[in-house]
Chains A and B, each alone.
Chain A
Amino acid sequence: MFSYLKVTFRERWKIFLTIGLILGCLGLAYIGTQTMTGQIAIEARGELEDDWRYQYDLLVLPQLDDEVEGLEDGWVAPQSSIASYGGISLEDWEKIKGIEGVEVAAPIALMGYFEFIGMNANASNATPGNWYETTKEVTAFDGMKTHTLTETSSISEYYDESMEDSILYQRHLEERGYPSNVAPGTSVRYPNEMLLVAIDPEAEDQLYNVSDSMISGSYLDESYSSEGATMPVVPVVALKEPEYVMEETVTVHEINVPDNLSEDDIVGGTTSYLRGLPKEEIAQLDISSLTSDLRFKNVNLEFDDEGFNEVEYDLINAPTEIIQFSPINYSLIENNDGDIPLLEAQEYPNASDFYTEINIPFYRYSEGVRQTHDFTVDIVGYYDSSEIRPKFAGSWQEEDPVDVYTPHHSMIIKNGLGEEIEPTPLLPLPVKASYYPGAPDMLTSLNALHHVYDEEPPLSSIRVVVDGVAERSESSQSKIEAVATEIKEQTGHHVDIMLGSSASRVHVNLAGTEVDEVGTVEEGWQQKGVNWSIENQVNQTNILLFIYLLAISVIFCYTIITHSLFNRSIDFAMQRAIGWTRGKIVRTLSIEVFIISTIPLLVIWITNNWLEAVSFIDYLYIWLITIAIISIGYVTGSYKALKLSPREGLEGEGAEWKMQRMVRIRGIMSYCLHQLLRRPLRFGLLTIVIAITTFMLLLSIVTQQILSDFLYLSFIGESINLKLAGYQTATLILSFILAVALTFLLLYLNLTERKKEFLIFSSIGWPMRRIQFYISLESFIVSVIGAGIGTIVASLFINIYTDSVIPSWLISLSILSPVALITLFTIVIIAGFKVKGVTKNHHAA
């Protein structure tokens, strides 16, 4: 037996070595793919792990909160936690704190926008006894356009006793009703509305390090005293950031009033008369009054034509008006799968009720008129929102959004005409009704709530952290779901599970109509569960790609092995004729399988000197897989040959296949179909290869697109997509190259194995071109069937598992490409035959 094996290996060493090397390469590809998959999976999974937990696990919102509308369930708008004016009672908060598994329950309450006092700015070089015109212009930039917030002009005298006898002064006093005995000027730092939000300092500090973000003063401690104040004082921590860029320009002109003034001159009114007189600029103030230095200062300004001075004054009671705007209201325009949702910000219908001079769109609804409350505020410290860090958000990274404190920056992506532009940050305007508020301007404690809310439940939301869910796991999910259910049952409020949420993109249409106005902004919303969805999509795609690679590889080896064994069928018949049993032949073949299966191990062992990545278990796996692949080829290849009687084998007869007589030869087409059915293995495998390659390519193109679109919807997904794209493309290309090579091999074997048949045709008078035409027709039919099956299955698969539709151009391409490829291969192979000369070999045939 071993001497036979020796002869066999001496005769067929090239084939065995080729099989071994191919399997070795496949083994290496397997290891490479495994290693790469592992690395990519770790990286991708690492990102998912890092971002799996939002800054809190549950967001409890009032049950009837319909103020933030737009997307259906599954999305949480930025600043949803301060989306409503009340709705949750303090008793509910106490209940939630008492629920088992609740680690932190941090309430937050939106109180309203508090109008902070302005600064008086007067010209220091004005002279009493003269008349002045004071103009003021306030502008702010939103990233696209400079908006004029205020533009005013006023006429005033700088009172002096010498003016008492003047007809002009007397008439002016009659018209206005009171004298002006201060230097000409106006109030600056307007508008300066500040969002006042109440928190529980202790709970908030468990959720975020707000106390660590204090840059001066104290953090809402209990030691604050308002002793001596004339009205209730609410201690607040103010936002210390140059939040808004608002430019204010105040100009003072001295009016040259003629001495020979008559009654007739001022019959139309003193103001219009004075406006018409020549004047001279004496002082100008250019100031950004909402900088961190000036925003909260209790000072007046004196300015001339060279600059300004700050003049301090004692704190007086600030105005106590609160404006309550409800949050931005959206309506949903489009939310197609694979597309970024498009919302439209709803404009306030009667903006003039609140602002008469500001010329920017309003996106907030008022909940009512301005409310006067009997309290004022005292800034006890300043906090820097950029220093705030979440304590429960996994590996939170710098510049990631932090809920209400540093929301994701909105980017302008379209101008008012709807034209796409280079993404530009949308800068918050100092008008709260405009669009985006940024971090709360003032934080206070829950003690202040009673100044605004009487009997109504005052809390806007409660952010809950669940105990013992540090890992991304099913059990964590179960715990969080259990707590959410308990909260719902005990309080009846709406509970959003934030588990697995990641920032996803939403487009919001604003009301710009000009080229320099904001049309659409892109901003990050929380999409619940997107983290899990990313993992599922990534896993499914990778599994499919790997199965495809494996299938192509197995068919490749199978084809070579079976081809080799078919050629040996006469050998087997001869062995049996001289007395070998089938069992003895099978034993020799088994030894062959064993020996060939060691070749890949040698290849990998040699390569591993550089790779150093293959473990003993890997070797074992590869060996077993190799044996399995070779055995499939050997079993099926030898079964047919051993099934024949020795005589049939020696005479080169083959077992009949019933299907081969399905089509009777009547003409060209029936002849081609007959040939296809006659060789089910070769043509069948070819059809399968074409079908799964077409399927895979279609699926890959469509699902990659879906995956990309899906991942593009989330900021975390985009970075994962970038990591995965290379690996998936490499796997697909590797598989595709193998598939193309395999297709060529199958076609080549199919034609070479039928060479004798072609020579018979030649001898009975068929011209070479007709033989070529028939061969090409066979290939064409196979490619159309394969590509058709692949396309149909891919379409069904995609329709079942996704909402996408394969575009018609892609379907056409998926059918035409294999047809073109196979036709090309057939022509190349036939040309090879022609070069060799079919007739030349006729004698041998």
Chain B
Amino acid sequence: MIQINGLAKSYTNDSEKIEVLKDLSLTIEDHSYVSIVGPSGSGKSTLLHTIGGLEPIDRGEIWVNDQAVHKLKDKQLAKLRLKEIGYVFQQFQLLPTATALENVMMPLLNVFSSKEIKEKAKVALERVGLEHRINHLPSRLSGGEQQRVAIARAIVTNPSIILADEPTGNLDSETGEKIIGLLEEIHANDDVIVVLITHDQAIAERTDQQISLLDGKVKVATLSEL
């Protein structure tokens, strides 16, 4: 479960303080499939990053699976991301000189033996349907394939939460549909929380819960909250 209470986050830009998230509170239940929507600059990505501890917060509380993210040290945050969270980015964020297999192996380096890592990475790539492309560099893969590699990298550690920041933003609609389908399949099979940011209302409507942000605040929450 993800529990956020009174979250505030601001940036300073040319000495001007911009409040991105303002006293934001919400709850995401276990095994839920959630979308975050809102206009550009509403704080969607910042919210996603703060959940995984990628960005420090100004105030408030963030609880992930009963762990107080806002209090964790760097090493504990890294452990949280390794064990509990898998990130998927709009720009894929793959290492350009590493193959698909090596990119997926990355989170597990120094955690298991190299043989085990390789096996786990191969399984993850098979799950996303890229078993035939494991030795290809990102530059030799299509956008959809690169995003699949990124998803494989996110699930290789068997996380309980997948945070996807506009995973279809750089893809055509057909490929985007496949990626969303893949995430939904993972959500269904692995019983994990999937939180995705999207601008596509159709995609948002397929999720169990929509969180709409406007000016750093939750505009519309679940139907029950409404």
A661 touches B97 (CB 8 A): yes
**A840 x B87 contact (CB < 8 A):** no
Q: B220 an interface residue at 8 Å Cβ cutoff?
A: no
Contact A842 B78 (CB under 8 A): no
Chain A stretch 751-790: residues in CB contact (< 8 A) with chain B: 756-757, 759-770
Kindly state whether residue B141 has any CB partner on chain A within 8 Å: no
A665 touches B98 (CB 8 A): yes
A843 part of interface (Cβ distance < 8 Å) = yes
Cross-chain pair count, CB within 8 angstroms: 87
**Cα–Cα distance between A762 and B107 once the two chains are bound (Å):** 9
Q: A665-B105, A678-B97, A840-B55 are in contact. Are A764 and B81 (CB under 8 A)?
A: yes
CB B27 to nearest CB in A, in angstroms, measures 24
Instruction: Let me know if B93 is at the binding interface, CB within 8 A.
Output: yes
Q: Mark A217-256, 1 if CB is under 8 A from B, else 0.
A: 0000000000000000000000000000000000000000
- For window 31-82 of B, CB contacts with A under 8 Å fall at 45-46, 49, 52-56, 74-75, 78-82
Question: How far, in angstroms, from A231 to B82 measured CA to CA in the complex?
Answer: 119
Chain A residues in 8 Å Cβ range of B80 = 765
Residue of B11, B46, B107, B110 near A667 (CB, 8 A) is B110
- Please, how many angstroms separate the alpha-carbon atoms of A839 and B55 in the complex? 5
What 6 pairs across the A-B complex have the smallest Cβ distances? A765-B82, A767-B78, A765-B81, A665-B102, A764-B107, A678-B97
Give the CA-CA distance A223 to B188 in the complex, in Å.
134
Is A674 located at the chain interface by the 8 A CB criterion?
yes
CB <8 Å contact, B74 and A843? no
- Assess whether A74 is interfacial by the CB under 8 Å rule: no
Tell whether, in the assembled complex, residue A762 and residue B97 are in contact, meaning their CB atoms are under 8 Å apart.
Answer: no
The answer on a CB contact under 8 Å between A839 and B54 is yes
- Is residue B129 contacting chain A, with contact meaning CB distance below 8 A? no
Contacting A768 at CB < 8 Å: which of B74, B83, B87, B154?
A: B74
User: Chain B: which residue is nearest A845 at the CB level?
Assistant: B93
Residues of A within 8 A of B85 (CB): 765
Q: Which of A650-671 contact B (CB under 8 A)?
A: 653-654, 656, 660-661, 664-668, 671
Residue of B at shortest CB range from A657? B97
Q: Confirm or deny: A368 has a beta carbon within 8 angstroms of a beta carbon on chain B.
A: no
- Which residues of A lie under 8 Å from residue B137 when comparing CB positions? 656, 661
Give complex CA distance A800, B59 in Å.
Answer: 69
Known contacts A765-B78, A837-B56, A842-B49; A760 and B95 CB within 8 A of each other? yes
| A762, A770, A840: the one within 8 Å of B56 (CB) | A840
Known: A766-B78, A768-B78. A760 touches B97 (CB 8 A): no
Chain A residues with Cβ below 8 Å from B49 are 842-843
How far is A763 from B80 in the complex, measured between Cα atoms in Å? 10
Across-interface contacts of B54 in A (CB, < 8 A): 759, 762-763, 839, 842
Nearest CB of chain B from residue A770's CB, rounded to whole Å: 7
Residue with the highest number of chain B CB atoms closer than 10 Å, among A654, A665, A674 = A665
User: Given A762-B54, A766-B78: A671 and B97 within 8 A (CB)?
Assistant: no
Contact pick for A762, options B78, B79, B105, CB 8 Å: B78
Interface residues of A in 804-845 (CB under 8 A from B): 837, 839-840, 842-843
Question: Per-residue 0/1 for A18-35: is the Cβ within 8 Å of any B Cβ (1 yes, 0 no)?
Answer: 000000000000000000
* A residues 662-692 in Cβ contact with B at 8 Å: 664-668, 671, 674, 678
Taken together as a complex, chains A and B put the C-alpha atoms of A310 and B21 apart, in Å, by 122
The answer to the question of B173 belonging to the interface, with a C-beta cut-off of 8 Å to chain A, is: no
What would 7 A/B residue contacts be, using CB atoms closer than 8 Å? A667-B110, A668-B110, A762-B54, A765-B79, A765-B85, A766-B78, A840-B56
B22 interface residue, CB < 8 Å from A?
Answer: no
Cβ of B52: which chain A residues have Cβ within 8 Å of it?
Answer: 763
Q: Identify 9 new A-B residue pairs, CB closer than 8 A, beyond the known A665-B98, A761-B106, A843-B45.
A: A668-B109, A671-B109, A756-B93, A763-B87, A764-B87, A764-B154, A765-B85, A765-B107, A770-B110
Cβ of B114 under 8 Å from chain A:
yes
B residues less than 8 Å from A842 (CB atoms): 49, 54-55
- Tell which of A664, A764, A768, A843 touches B106, judged by Cβ atoms closer than 8 Å: A764
Query: CA–CA, A770 to B75, complex, Å?
Result: 9
Flag if A656 contacts B78 (CB, 8 Å): no
Return chain B residues, CB-CB under 8 Å to A765.
78-83, 85, 107, 157
- How far, in angstroms, from A328 to B87 measured CA to CA in the complex? 92
Interface residues on B, range: 35 or more
Most buried by B among A656, A756, A764, A767: A764
Q: Is B96 an interface residue (CB 8 A)?
A: yes
The listed residue (A656, A770, A837) touching B139 by CB distance below 8 A is A656
> Can you name the residue of chain A whose Cβ is closest to the Cβ of B87?
A763
Could you tell me the distance between the alpha carbons of A661 and B87 in the complex, rounded to whole angstroms?
26
Contact B81 A763, beta carbon cutoff 8 Å: yes
Q: Check: B217 CB closer than 8 A to any chain A CB.
A: no
Complex CA gap A483/B167 in Å reads 93
- Output the least CB separation between B120 and chain A (Å): 14
**Docked pose: A664 CA to B109 CA in angstroms:** 13
Contact residues in B for A769 (Cβ distance below 8 Å): 74-75
The answer to whether B114 and A843 touch across the interface, beta carbons within 8 angstroms, is no
Of all chain B residues, the one with the shortest Cβ separation from A771 is: B78
B48 to chain A minimum Cβ distance, whole angstroms, is 10
Nearest B-chain residue to A653, judged by Cβ = B139
Contact A843 B46 (CB under 8 A): yes
Residue of A nearest to B76 (CB): A767
At the interface, yes or no: B122 with Cβ under 8 Å from chain A? no
Q: How far does the alpha carbon of A760 sit from the alpha carbon of B153 in the complex, in Å? A: 11
- B46 / chain A contacts, CB cutoff of 8 Å: 843
A472-508 residues with Cβ-Cβ distance < 8 A to B are none
Known pairs A671-B109, A768-B75, A840-B55; A760 contacts B102 (CB<8 A): no
**B75 and A767: CB pair below 8 A?**
yes
Contact of B114 among A656, A667, A759, A839 (CB under 8 A): A667
List residues of B (82-105) whose CB comes within 8 Å of A's CBs: 82-83, 85, 87, 89, 93, 95-99, 102, 105
- In the bound complex, CA of A839 to CA of B109 (Å): 21
Across the interface, name the chain A residue whose C-beta is closest to B88.
A763
CB distance A767 to B74 under 8 Å?
Answer: yes
The complex places the Cα of A69 from the Cα of B107 at a distance, in Å, of 79
Interface string of A391-423 (1 = CB under 8 A from B): 000000000000000000000000000000000
**Most A CB atoms within 10 A — which of B49, B98, B114, B153?**
B98
Kindly state the separation between the CA atoms of A674 and B102 in the bound complex, as whole angstroms: 11
Distance of A770 Cα from B102 Cα, bound (Å): 17
Per the 8 Å Cβ criterion, residues 163-214 of B in contact with A are none
Nearest residue in B to A773 (C-beta to C-beta)? B110
Bound CA span A761–B54, Å: 11
C-alpha spacing A810/B137, complex, angstroms: 45
Distance in angstroms between the alpha carbons of A656 and B110 in the assembled complex: 27
Given contacts A667-B114, A842-B49, A843-B46, contact A767 B79 (CB under 8 A): yes
